[in-house]
A = this chain, B = another copy of it.
Amino acid sequence: MPAPVTLKSLAAATGFSVTTVSRALAGYSDVSPSTRRLILEEAERRGYEPNLLGRLLQGQRSQTIAIVMPTSGPQFPDPFFAQFVAGVGVEAAQAGFDLLLSPQDSSSELEAYRRLMTARRADGLLLIRTRADDFRIRYLTETGVPFVSFGRTDSVAHTAWIDVDGVAGQKALTSHLLELGHRRIAYITPPGGLMFTRFRLQGFREALAESGVAADPALIIEAGLSEQAGKDTAMLLLERPEPPTAIVAGNDLTAIGVMHAVRARGLRVGDDVAVGGYDGIPASEHLNPPLTTVYQPVFEIGQLAARSLLAIITAQPARDLPVLVRPQLLARASTLGTHSQRGGGALD
């Protein structure tokens, strides 16, 4: 292990003080050209790299942003999260920031935030899955920690968010089904506290209202966002005397569960029962049949969230938050029917 090259060793080698070496390298004007050249040469020759820690300790920055993932057990593999993280990571790397992942079950989540910030481990935070009354947002706002959330909230005035327009998204999907002639449309709504749940439900209702279709409360069921939850709920729906002709799931994972249930009842997805998802994960295109869903550009959202957070951290002029992104309806065979799937050409 070679002795590290520090400002001190450079100072000793060149005969100048640590201060002068530091300022020469930083490009200050109170160093004579000849001195600067000498120091730069020496630094170059010995391969000097500033020690990040010294620099950070001095400036009280860690050059790191963190994402706390609310997860219990091996649950994170939701492709939705993965893409968001990827977007954030790429953007952060570009700015020379590192990305800290902190998987925490929700009970210890607040503790995780506190620890990250008081240990000055991260300069800012990214939040996902916001809630109407979100204790995390309240806490972070109170303590003045820089953060950006993917999702809105009601709990406090908070504008550093970026979100996808759930009302428009769900409305587009539901209208699509209504246009196809469906009247008994079931909606498996995501867990109550989550903010996007409310918007999507609103979109669902608005679409029905605009078509003059009465919303049947019995067709709106709350369930988790897992495949299993989708399957179980769909089973219950299909066992009814008057089963729905279309089932809209809370996300794509849930929709996969619904598709299983439909098939298990001996029905054909897309022909006998239409199924809709939400998120537009990559796999949705390759499902059997391809899933009609609402695409959210999560990777790009991750990038934008990271960029905005970095701007806030470095206290740059106000950025363009909040942002409401418009999602995109992807109509595929799970609602259009499998005849269209045979077209083949649609895949290219």
Q: Which residues of A contact B (CB under 8 A)?
A: 1-2, 4-5, 47-54, 56-57, 60, 62, 64, 69, 71, 73-74, 76-77, 79, 81-83, 85-87, 89-90, 93, 98-104, 114-115, 118-121, 143-144, 256, 259-260, 263-264, 266, 282-283, 286-290, 299, 344-345, 347-348
Task: Given A4-B118, A52-B121, A287-B286, check contact A101 B104 (CB 8 Å).
Answer: no
Residue in contact with A288 in the complex, picked from B51, B53, B83, B287, CB distance below 8 Å: B287
Closest 8 CB pairs of A and B: A288-B288, A283-B283, A52-B119, A82-B82, A49-B118, A76-B86, A49-B119, A89-B103
Q: Is the CB of A77 within 8 A of B69?
A: no
Task: Given A49-B118, A288-B288, A344-B263, check contact A87 B74 (CB 8 Å).
Answer: yes
Q: How far is the CB of A305 from chain B (nearest CB, A)?
A: 15
A290 to B89, CA, bound (A): 32
A118 to B54, CA, bound (A): 11
Q: How far is the CB of A117 from chain B (nearest CB, A)?
A: 9
Q: How far is the CB of A158 from chain B (nearest CB, A)?
A: 17
| Closest B residue, CB atoms, query A101 | B99
Q: Is the CB of B118 within 8 A of A89?
A: no
Q: How far is the CB of A61 from chain B (nearest CB, A)?
A: 9
Residues from chain B with a CB closer than 8 A to the CB of A51 are 118-120
The quantity of this chain's copies bound in the complex is 2
- Can you spell out 23 A-B residue pairs with CB atoms less than 8 angstroms apart? A1-B143, A48-B118, A49-B114, A51-B120, A52-B121, A53-B119, A74-B87, A74-B90, A74-B299, A76-B85, A77-B79, A93-B103, A98-B121, A99-B102, A101-B101, A256-B286, A264-B347, A264-B348, A283-B286, A286-B286, A286-B288, A287-B287, A288-B290
Given contact pairs A53-B119, A81-B82, a sample of 13 additional A-B residue pairs in the complex whose CB atoms are under 8 Å apart:
A4-B120, A51-B118, A52-B115, A73-B90, A74-B86, A76-B89, A76-B90, A85-B101, A100-B100, A260-B347, A263-B344, A266-B344, A283-B287
